[in-house]
Amino acid sequence: MSETPKTPVAILLSGRGSNATALIEACKQPDFPARICLVLSNKPDAPGLDMARAAGLETVAIDHRLYKKDRDAHERAVDTALRDAGAQVVCLAGYMRLLTPFLTTRWAGKMLNIHPSLLPVFPGLHTHERALDAGVRIHGCTVHLVTEGMDEGPILGQAAVPVLPGDTADALAARVLRQEHQLYPDVLRRYLTKSQAPISADAALLVA
C-alpha cells in the first residue's frame, strides 16, 4: 500500500493552542496528508508552544515586541523561519497579529485561518458576545484563505452551531470551539487533497 504524501505545514499561534492540538492530533493519522514542520509563536510564553514542544515538534518564538513598530522586520523573520522549516502551507490557529501584505502576498493561497464566526459576519474580536447581542440563532466558525483584509479571504469551510436559550458568550464559545477542532483538520485535509467530499464534522449544519 502506498503511503499518503505528507505536506509540511507550519502552525502560527499566540495562545493556548487548542486548534493547533487538533491539527497535530490529525497529523498523527497515517492517512492524513500533512505533517507539522514548525509551530511558531509571536509570544514566547504561549501555552501552545509548550504543548507543541511536549509533542516533540520543532518550535520557535519570534517575539514581536523585540521589533518595536517594525512589522515588516518581524514578518521577514517569521517568513524566514517558515521557509527554513520547509513549510509549504501555513495554518494560523489563534495567531493574534494582523498580517501585512508582506506575508499575505508571499503565502497567498497557501495560508489558512480559523475564525470563530460564520464569516462574513462578525470579523474581528469578541465574536460570541457580538453574536448574542445581535440575536442570531445560528453561529459557528469558518476556515478561510488569508488575504490582506482581516478575516476576508475565500471561505474553505464552515460549521454552524445553534445559539441556545440562555447561552452565555462562554458557553457559546465552548460549543463553537468543539466544532473548530473538527472543522480545521477536515478542511485542511480537503484543501491538501483538493477533495470535494463532504466534510465529516458533526455540526448542526455544515457548509463546505
User: Which residues are designated catalytic?
Assistant: 115
**What is the C-alpha separation between 155 and 120, in angstroms, rounded?**
9
Q: Is 94 in the site for ligand GRF (CB under 6 A)?
A: yes
Q: Are 117 and 127 in contact (CB under 8 A)?
A: yes
Q: Is 18 in the site for ligand GRF (CB under 6 A)?
A: yes
Using the rule CB under 6 A, which residue among 7, 9, 11, 19 binds ligand GRF? 19
For ligand GRF, which stretch binds (CB under 6 A), given 11-19, 56-64, 80-88, 197-205?
Answer: 11-19
Q: Is 33 in the site for ligand GRF (CB under 6 A)?
A: no
Q: Closest-CB residue for ligand GRF?
A: 94
Q: Are 60 and 38 in contact (CB under 8 A)?
A: yes
Using the rule CB under 6 A, which residue among 9, 10, 12, 15 binds ligand GRF? 15
Q: Is 140 in the site for ligand GRF (CB under 6 A)?
A: no
Edge-first strand order for the sheet with 34-41 is 59-61, 34-41, 7-13, 89-92, 111-115, 138-145, 155-162, 205-207
Q: Is 157 in the site for ligand GRF (CB under 6 A)?
A: no
User: Which secondary-structure segment (H or E) carries 117?
Assistant: none
Minimum gap (Å) between residue 22 Cβ and ligand GRF: 8
**What is the C-alpha separation between 82 and 84, in angstroms, rounded?**
6
The closest alpha carbon to 188, from 2, 10, 3, belongs to 10
Which residues in 182-201 contact ligand GRF (CB under 6 A)? none
> What angle (nearest 5°) sits at the alpha carbon of residue 122, between those of residues 120 and 125?
130
Report the residue number, 114 or 172, with the smaller CB distance to ligand GRF.
114
Which residues in 110-129 contact ligand GRF (CB under 6 A)? 114-116
> What angle (nearest 5°) sits at the alpha carbon of residue 163, between those of residues 190 and 121?
60
Site string for ligand GRF, 49-88 (x = CB under 6 A): ----------------------------------------
Helices (H) and strands (E) in the chain, counts: 6, 8
Q: Which residues bind ligand GRF (CB under 6 A)?
A: 13, 15-20, 48, 93-94, 114-116, 141, 177, 180
